[in-house]
Amino acid sequence: MLLTLAAGATDAIAFLGLGGVFTANMTGNLILFALAGREDWVLHALRSGLACAGFCAGLLIGFTMPGRHEGNALWPLAVIRLLWADLALQSAFLAGWALGGGAPGPVAILALIGAGSCAMGMQAAAARRVNLAGITATFVTGTLTSLFETSASGGSTWSTDNRRRAAIVVALVLGALCASLLLRLAPPWAGAVAPVCTLLALVVVHPHVRRVRPRDR
């Protein structure tokens, strides 16, 4: 939930403050890239294309991060390392956003899109490596699909998995709401929502991770 809050907040800032792109929702970016008839299409295509490239770079880093066989079954050390790298990028995003006073210039916008989307790519890879019953931490289309599929097939609407899925959907909305409100009330601090949530997630997870080597299994 904390990671999904971070994704919602980052997407809200990107859409409202970085030229109408997304850092976590690549489906939206691919559509924006293809809208050749819109005004200033070249600029929008550049930004949405950069976001997709940054996200893919984050995925590549995430799925090649060492530590796959260390830690425990749910939280391998590779995921913890990914979240620290994610936090570093989100902190860099916050610094760049705050230095621009919540209104970055054209070049800074491109740098922030790259940093934010790469962070979300790493976060998506981390969520996939945790692998909790159709739950992601950057978008909720698949989570909504799993929620309604289970309910329609006769499964319990309030099963543990479905409660998690519903909570993830709400978390994405709340993250976007928090960031959008801060954009209106205190723009330089809007970028703080994501790193704070990711740091809290690391604080929650770290006590449950035990360093285990493959030979110890």
Query: Given a cut of 90, is residue 149 above it in pLDDT?
Result: no
pLDDT: which is higher, 10 or 161: 10
Q: Which residues contact 117 (CB under 8 A, 6 or more apart)?
A: 14, 23, 24, 50, 51, 52, 53, 54, 55, 58
Q: Is there a domain that residue 116 lies in? A: yes
Q: Is there a domain that residue 216 lies in? A: no
Is 171:8 a contact under the CB 8 Å cutoff?
yes
Q: Is there a domain that residue 146 lies in? A: yes
CATH of the domain at 163: 1.20.1250
pTM of the full predicted structure? 0.85
Query: Given a cut of 90, is residue 153 above it in pLDDT?
Result: no
Query: Given a cut of 80, is residue 217 above it in pLDDT?
Result: no
Is 1:168 a contact under the CB 8 Å cutoff?
yes
Q: Is there a domain that residue 129 lies in? A: yes
Q: Is there a domain that residue 186 lies in? A: yes
* Total number of domains in the chain: 1
- Is residue 193 left, alpha or beta, with left meaning phi > 0 and alpha meaning psi from -120 to 50? alpha
23-51: per-residue pLDDT in tens? 999 999 999 899 887 788 899 999 999 99
Q: What integer pLDDT is reported at residue 210 of this predicted model?
A: 57
Query: Given a cut of 70, is residue 157 above it in pLDDT?
Result: no
Report the distance separating Cα 22 and Cα 43, nearest Å.
14
| Rounded mean pLDDT, 15-27 | 93
Q: Is there a domain that residue 189 lies in? A: yes
Provide the residue range defining the domain that includes 68. Answer: 2-211
What is the band of 59 on the pLDDT scale with cuts at 50, 70, 90?
very high
